[in-house]
Amino acid sequence: MTPRFSLFARTALTLSAAASLFGCEPQFNDQVCESDQDCFPDEACQAGVCMLRSDLPDVDPDAELNACGGIQELENAPGDPCGSCNLDQFQCEGAELVCSGDTPCPETDVITTTPTDITARGAQLNGELAELPIEGISELGFCWSSSEANPTLDNANCEAIGTLLEAPGTFSLPVEGLNPGTSYNVATYFIDGDSDSGYGNTLAFTTLAPTPTNVTAVVDGGVITLSWDEADGIVEYEVLRDGTSIAVVGQPSYADEDAPAGTLSGYEDLSATQGTESAGVRLTWSAATGSQGDELSYEVVASYPDADSAPSEAVVAQLPAPAPTSYEVQIDDGAWIDVGLVTEYLDEDAPEGTITAGTTTVSAGEFADRVEVSISGSTSADGQPRQYRVRALADASAGAPSPQVSGFRDAGELSYQWQRTTSDLDQENDYQDISGATSATYSDFDAPATGETRFYRVVVGAPAAPSVTTAGQAGYRAFGAQINLASISGVDTNNATISATVTGLGDPAATEHGICISTQTNPAYPASGATDCSSRGAPASTGPFTESFSSLAPATTYFVRAFIVNATGTSYSGEQTFVTIPGAPTNLTASNTNTQHVALSWNAVSGAEGYRVYRDGNLLTEINDAGQTGFNDTTATESSLNAPTNLQASTNNVDQVNLTWEASVASPVVTYDYTVRAYNSAGDEGSASDIATGSRAAPAITGYRIFRGSNIINPPGVATSYADTSADPGTLGAPSGLTASTTNAAQVDLSWSAAAGSAGTSYAYTVRALSAAGPSAPSNVATGSRAAPAITGYEIFRDSDPLASLGLVTSYADTTADAGAIDTVNDLSASNSNPDQVDLSWSAPATEAGISHAYTVRALSAAGPSAPSTSVNGSRAAPSITGYDILDASDDSVLSTVPSAGSAALAANAPDYTFDQIDGTYDSGNNDMALTITNGTPVNGAPITVRIIARGESGIDATASADATGFRPATSLAFTWERASLAADPVVWETFGAADANSVTDADVDASKLTYRARVDIGTNITVEVPAVTLNIN
């Protein structure tokens, strides 16, 4: 059949559509725009078109915008119905509302309207009956499906409303058992009196998507593990960190192994030596400290088949501060080198320096007693610089690299080694080192006295540079008078005694001999400038002589040569030097404010080569740098810290053991008397300075170290309290006395006794104070432990699977346990012998209890769950039968409901009696009329086939019985005959003849009463009227 609308209904829908669409038209149709920049300066972009600013309403700048982000007042709200039949919705377009479309009104007797009261599992389906079908209506309801675009009675879930409408109007049906976050299509349907079905328009709706609950974050090492309650019907979960998606998972947990770790810092002050060490480049830096990772916010979104939930409530977590385990050094952007947990590193592979040899000079016949060799212009260059960086490691995690610094190696002090051949040939393999010839100048008194030629060269070296060797150069001694410088003695601040020996008078004999001293090298005779010579005339013979010099400058280097003159010239001894003794240092001071050392300082002594420091009369150190006028005595006895006192440890905190103590105090300091003496280049020292008294200061507390049994805890800072959260937590005992019912058909009732907790492990604690001077003695021992955890709720398991998480209760009703059952009625019978009704009879079916389940319960706390309770079994009881529904087997519609088993009566289809008409034959002789109902035939009622369902408490029903068929027979007929005169006023009918017969004789015909009629009664409540007929007796 084709469903129809009446003309009235169609006209009403058309008017409704016109009214709904009236408010949907945009108010402006000027230039299309997306923003104000697309319009002229005097225009603004509103609802996607440009309009004059002067036409806009005067709106306060702080006024709230409408639901579409505009300033116009909206007549409707987004989501309101619109269109011809209100089958569309208002939506934002720019800053204005427009109708999403104009869905044509369905040409059907029923209309599907927008579902309401949508939840995750259900919705109210709504429809409108526009017009009753001509054939009448036997069923009205809804069909819905998540997979079918056009749901029908053949492909979808369908359900009729409870009460049929008797006139056009709205109707609705609440449905449950839908899947969350799922799109459904719904259509109204009806079945008319001819059993034809029809459908309304199809609408779509989506069930709500529940948000994940009980999201928690647990930090373990470098991983943050999230967990949440599992939701039914989900496809997957999306995990958000700080609003950004980081993972999509299928289970209710996720381990974030990429959470930003804590950082390491403090070593950015990296420094590298620059030409101050020849052993390499030395790097130094400060120890690294750790900082916690960023505070992270996590949310979880549940994805359902057709919708996503809103994000869950956020939980916050952050990774702990890392502790450095090692350091790595990088050289010239190369590979990182692990150097261990140190704050200093020596790069022994730094590039070496280079040496430039310079120019050598070798005397040839200038001196009778020696060959003078010298080199000048020798230089060394430091090694090429390298770039360095350092970073800290915390296990496998690396901190940020420090800024790059430059460092280079010192080539070191130049050294010299003169070599001489053993023959007069310049041959490589003939050179040998000259013992003691290790300075830039050297007097070779071992050269052949006969003046034979020898070749000389020098090897110039440095500690951190490859050595170079000069080319060989010839030299030889002159033959003449000879003299040696013997010794220098009696050197003090202003005086010295010098001895020499004439070893050869020469030929001719020497005419002059003596000693020259000068502050410049190679003093010569006769004296000039800074040179002072003592001349003794011609030597009478070979042998020693002595000269004394006075009025010398203190701490001054003097050069000395003995001379002898003959006809070959002036011969000189080898040059020697001595240094006069320096004066006493002045202004010596000694500190008493530093915990690490006693700091000494004094005024420099002119000409000093270095200084010797004495403590309480004993040599403490020697300083070989004349420019250093200070020294830190780190060997002075340090003060110590006494043990912390009054250590106390808590036992009443669930999350930690709270420790408190009183700060340590320092022991008295030790004082010393210091003096300083300057010494010259010969190592001779002068007078002592004045005495200065100093000591190391009492040490400052830098922190504390806590000992818990064999474990060591290093709390930050110098606070005198600490919360030990790593102590073993308390534990929960299992709940006891669990019982499970077997007597309730609707649920299994559980009850138990509350769990009890136990305190954590008891520890013995001590504390030591820390300082640069070392740790103090341990404090007193204090015993503490974490308190027993507080119970936060209970978790129930059924057959080893989680069933429910509860608060602080000790009972639970399991309504999801397997229900009991009612057997099918198996002896239904229907009668065919009663014309008034169909009699049904049956016996009550058996009932069974639900499946037995094993239950356990465990207590919950912030520290974790307890052990499970003892397992008990429980089940739902067998349900009681609350009544029976008698169904029409053709469509399963309910014909009748009875409260108990036994019997029931159905009106069913009534029997009938068919006929043609009343016919009569008049017998004038006897004046009687033989009457009969022609073709009078009794007709049994149409059979009816039924089935029966037993209904039980708590919504537990049996399956339908086998079908039974019965009918009302056309039996127990009773006939009533009547006659009347139609001319009478009023017409009076009178009964005559025998009953219970379809033929009768009117034995005494009254000619005025020849109109006859009959009535046939079937059973007790069916009457068939046989129409009256008027007969003729002529």
202-252 pLDDT, tens digit per residue, is 999 999 989 999 999 999 988 999 999 998 888 899 999 999 999 999 999
- 593 in any annotated domain: no
Distance, in Å, from the CA atom of 520 to the CA atom of 559, rounded to the nearest integer, reads: 6
Are 776 and 769 in contact, with CB atoms under 8 Å apart?
A: yes
Whether residue 61 is predicted with pLDDT greater than 80 in this model: the reply is no
User: 22 with 133, same domain?
Assistant: yes
Amino acid 98: pLDDT: 82
User: 463 with 426, same domain?
Assistant: yes
Amino acid 709: pLDDT: 87
Question: Can you list the positions of beta strands (E) in 492-556?
Answer: 496-504, 512-518, 532-535, 543-549
23-27, 193-197, 774-778, 922-926: the lowest-pLDDT one: 23-27
User: 466 with 493, same domain?
Assistant: no
445-454, 518-527, 842-851: the lowest-pLDDT one: 445-454
What DSSP line would sit under 732-743, residue for residue?
EPPPEEEEE-SS
Q: Quick one: pLDDT band at residue 426, thresholds 50, 70, 90?
A: very high
Whether residue 69 is predicted with pLDDT greater than 90 in this model: the reply is no
Compute the chain's Rg from CA coordinates. Answer: 61
User: 495 with 560, same domain?
Assistant: yes
User: 468 with 507, same domain?
Assistant: no
Mean per-residue pLDDT, 583-600 = 92
Distance, in Å, from the CA atom of 337 to the CA atom of 365, rounded to the nearest integer, reads: 60
Residue 695 is encoded by which pair of tokens?
């000591």
When the pLDDT of each residue in the chain is averaged and rounded to a whole number, the result is: 89
- 198 in any annotated domain: yes
| Domain extent for 184 | 7-206
Amino acid 27: pLDDT: 34
Per-residue pLDDT of 993-1029, as tens digits, reads 766 788 999 888 888 888 999 999 998 889 999 999 9
How many beta carbons lie within 10 A of that of residue 384, not counting itself?
12
Per-residue pLDDT of 926-984, as tens digits, reads 999 999 999 889 999 999 999 999 999 988 999 999 999 999 999 988 899 999 988 88
User: 24 with 172, same domain?
Assistant: yes
Amino acid 47: pLDDT: 62
Q: Determine if the pTM surpasses 0.75.
A: no
Q: Quick one: pLDDT band at residue 64, thresholds 50, 70, 90?
A: low
Amino acid 105: pLDDT: 56
Whether residue 548 is predicted with pLDDT greater than 90 in this model: the reply is yes
- pLDDT above 70 covers a percentage of the chain that reads 94
Residue position matching structure tokens 């899947």: 179
Are 331 and 387 in contact, with CB atoms under 8 Å apart?
A: yes
C-alpha separations of 665 from 50, 696, 776 in Å = 81, 16, 9
User: 452 with 540, same domain?
Assistant: no
Are 539 and 514 in contact, with CB atoms under 8 Å apart?
A: no
Mean per-residue pLDDT, 445-469 = 92
Whether residue 373 is predicted with pLDDT greater than 90 in this model: the reply is yes
User: 40 with 153, same domain?
Assistant: yes
What is the layout of strands, in order, in the sheet containing 344-347?
Answer: 271-272, 281-284, 344-347
- 253 in any annotated domain: no
Whether cis (ω within 30° of 0) applies to the bond prior to 526 is: yes
Residue 821 is encoded by which pair of tokens?
């059952």
Amino acid 66: pLDDT: 77
- 508 in any annotated domain: yes
Per-residue pLDDT of 767-792, as tens digits, reads 999 987 789 899 999 999 999 998 99
Per-residue pLDDT of 643-675, as tens digits, reads 999 999 999 998 899 999 999 887 778 899 999
Amino acid 634: pLDDT: 92
- 719 in any annotated domain: no
Q: Shortest CA distance to 228 belongs to which of 240, 216, 236?
A: 216
Q: What are phi and psi of 913, to 5 degrees?
A: -135, 120
Per-residue pLDDT of 681-718, as tens digits, reads 888 898 899 999 999 888 888 899 999 988 999 999 99
- 775 in any annotated domain: no
Q: Which residues contact 486 (CB under 8 A, 6 or more apart)?
A: 499, 500, 501, 544
Q: What are phi and psi of 53, to 5 degrees?
A: -60, -30
Residue 502 is encoded by which pair of tokens?
């004439």
DSSP character at residue 963: -
Whether cis (ω within 30° of 0) applies to the bond prior to 802 is: no
User: 184 with 96, same domain?
Assistant: yes
Amino acid 814: pLDDT: 95
Amino acid 17: pLDDT: 31
Per-residue pLDDT of 293-302, as tens digits, reads 899 999 999 9
Amino acid 86: pLDDT: 66
Mean per-residue pLDDT, 31-53 = 73
Distance, in Å, from the CA atom of 477 to the CA atom of 466, rounded to the nearest integer, reads: 33
- 647 in any annotated domain: no
Are 677 and 701 in contact, with CB atoms under 8 Å apart?
A: no
| Domain end call among 446, 475, 504 | 475
User: 51 with 179, same domain?
Assistant: yes
Amino acid 7: pLDDT: 28
Amino acid 62: pLDDT: 54
Amino acid 108: pLDDT: 57
Whether residue 263 is predicted with pLDDT greater than 80 in this model: the reply is yes
- pLDDT above 90 covers a percentage of the chain that reads 66
pLDDT greater at residue 28 or residue 525? 525
| Domain end call among 444, 475, 506 | 475
DSSP character at residue 863: T
Amino acid 24: pLDDT: 33
Are 210 and 236 in contact, with CB atoms under 8 Å apart?
A: no
Report how many domains make up the chain: 4
Distance, in Å, from the CA atom of 19 to the CA atom of 454, rounded to the nearest integer, reads: 129
Are 978 and 918 in contact, with CB atoms under 8 Å apart?
A: no
Are 573 and 524 in contact, with CB atoms under 8 Å apart?
A: no
| Domain end call among 475, 497, 517 | 475
Distance, in Å, from the CA atom of 763 to the CA atom of 757, rounded to the nearest integer, reads: 18
User: 500 with 372, same domain?
Assistant: no
How many beta carbons lie within 10 A of that of residue 471, not counting itself?
9
Distance, in Å, from the CA atom of 36 to the CA atom of 879, rounded to the nearest integer, reads: 72
Q: In terms of residues, how long is the chain?
A: 1034
Whether residue 13 is predicted with pLDDT greater than 50 in this model: the reply is no
Amino acid 21: pLDDT: 30
Whether residue 93 is predicted with pLDDT greater than 90 in this model: the reply is no
User: 502 with 448, same domain?
Assistant: no
Mean per-residue pLDDT, 508-514 = 87
What DSSP line would sit under 315-363, residue for residue?
EEE-PPPP---EEEEEETT--EEEEES-SEEEETTSPP-EEE--EEEE-
Q: Tell me, what CATH number does 176's domain have?
A: 2.60.40.10
What DSSP line would sit under 243-300, residue for residue?
TEEEEEESSSEEEETTSPPPEEES-TT-EE-BSS-SS-EEEE-PPPEEEPPPPEEEEE
Amino acid 135: pLDDT: 82
Q: Quick one: pLDDT band at residue 67, thresholds 50, 70, 90?
A: confident
Amino acid 507: pLDDT: 57
- 865 in any annotated domain: no
Amino acid 450: pLDDT: 74
